[in-house]
Structure 1
């Protein structure tokens, strides 16, 4: 609805205007009426209208002065002037001040008013569209500036500072830190994954930027759907107190890679390149942790495994012994601060699986089932997010190889999945997730996710979301329910995030769904 205020010293005319028609049918709402410009300004301040219809001749403050003030203070308000035949010079003045149109009171018809109001509405819509376009253009320009900060090393600090000033960014010369943030969402179906990533990233960027704006000490932007950059004026570790609470309020895992303090804007590209090189090594730390360059004393590009020593283990089908030997190599390297490239570890573990299957083939064993599953094994390893997961996945794969060789599989529905489904149905109202369920059942979360989807046809997270939303719908159909209570009852602590999930699944907001059943 477009809000309208009527200003005229004749009360009868104001009432006639208000009751002339059902203005809401045409998209208008009369929010107030005033007898002069002074009263009108009070109403404008209170209601922030889109359109003001005003007489020219009024006591106290006339329509000319009112138009002048409105166009100085509220440029977007559309002004329509009511005049008599002998007011034409005054009409010209109001038009020069920015009034949109005028109507002659002696000959005023209903259609004249409607046409003028429609013209004002159309002009308002064009203004809003222009603002949206300008806002979108500003976003693109700002993102271009941020990317140039990261990637163009030859810019002068003076030129960068001019851009910072032009965009009104709360970032000052002096000591700064560059903070690289990697997000990881709960596993979801691929059809909605990109959309979910983009929406959540935008929400987090906006909240971080609002926080930085409040503290007047930095800016935040996304360089990809799950990677954010924060540049902050700080030489201390206060960044953690400001950023971590924002990230912790969302259902995401996150890692921070924080630079040492630097003082020149032109240093940013080099700092960013160092962080890019270090970012894969989040493989060695838990979610919510900081990647510390000083701790990564030696980076190794390859994983050296003694494949010939594995033959005895394979021949004896002692896959637990083989796993312990691989585990010792990895843990020993970490204890000595010799951090192996995560890609090399994953690739090395895939080679271990391939080598075992190849060796079993040479031994003449029937391993058709293993050949069918080896691609799944490889993908499970490739999808691991950290070294602990990678080791646990390898352990499970070797256990499955041993089970397959003993021919102990009976083809029944996996009892583990049955137990997991029962657990979810009993605990969906609690703060559970793929990670917590995996911990409860002592399983690697990537392995659990893959197993659950193979058995049920959907991801564990989608199963949990759908179960929660079904329960939310049932609660919302009750007249005494409210959004916050429902949110808490189904295991969501953030009402805003619950609203986003509900709308994505159901197609409408929780409040809209509730109104369907509680009119």
Structure 2
């Protein structure tokens, strides 16, 4: 694939071009552009299959560029390159068709090979193109219906180097077998009686293949082959993520039941889930944690939506608790199945409980302080002072002040200031909103006071900070 990189920071463009192992994944950077308009001109005259674009750029933003590319070049894969893990921007980019996103600040924590492997894996999931070596599926037979009532799906939990290993299985004349996509096979036997026996014996036969999971489809009869393959591709991206259990190798899943009960999720539902998990009200509350965990699983969000929620939520947790890192031992990008997500959330929750309970306050006191911190985080324009907030959570001023500092790690007023400055940094780096409006949106109606405070905390004026993030300083051009 030919790749175009779009970012108004020349150092970012050159860094990505030189440091990312493009060739290792069959990719080649054929061009670069400093803004959306320049990118569109390049696309008009060059063959490009993948576009990696920043969100905040002068002349034409990344969001505007994506909207245009979706119409004029609908076959191009879109990758978002962003400085901040901002939930709203990530959701908008996914809605516009982005296949994945790269957070610049995360590149130091993640191997660049892992980033490209994840992106190429998602492209493979989306295309679902059958490998040419799939010898069991003639094109003209795709519209034929299955006559057997049961099928088998074989899923490899780890990438397989031996692509022909299925040749060792007892595939008979009249059987249908195809590699639906990488590491996912569908096998339907022509003899339904033999299939039921094979279905029982197969797990034992595959003891030498411990990374293979088997899924029986008891009601595949009557489905078109192409229809079944399409359903399986979609089910892998969302359904299997939630169905698989640690250590379990054999499953029975009904296609009809899955289709009938598939949840309909709206953008407002995703935003509400993000709002829930970005708060800390679940940390010391077992019923709430378990209820929200169940609700999240029932939504069956695609992996990239889960990641966007929790990348952003982790940032909120770390800001609230003044911690450098509080997430589990595994990176979010490495979580493939729901049981891994659940284990990660439980591990992260234990870390957060340890952080908030280090001062040995009672659970009710911790909950009150976390509620106060959440109220500020949810609306940083809130002008509630220490005295008013103490009253909101039914605590005396002095006791609230001491508890807040012990549990959150900084005084109340300092916490409010830091949250506002952090939000201002995001707005300056990701949008073209005038500074006077950014001051108002971060709780500072007085622009001069906001600019002075911002410089005290960051060493730069708001304008200088925006220029630095956009690569507009002459030293970066």
Q: TM-score surpassing 0.5? A: no
* Bigger relative contact order (CA 8 A; separation at least 6): 2
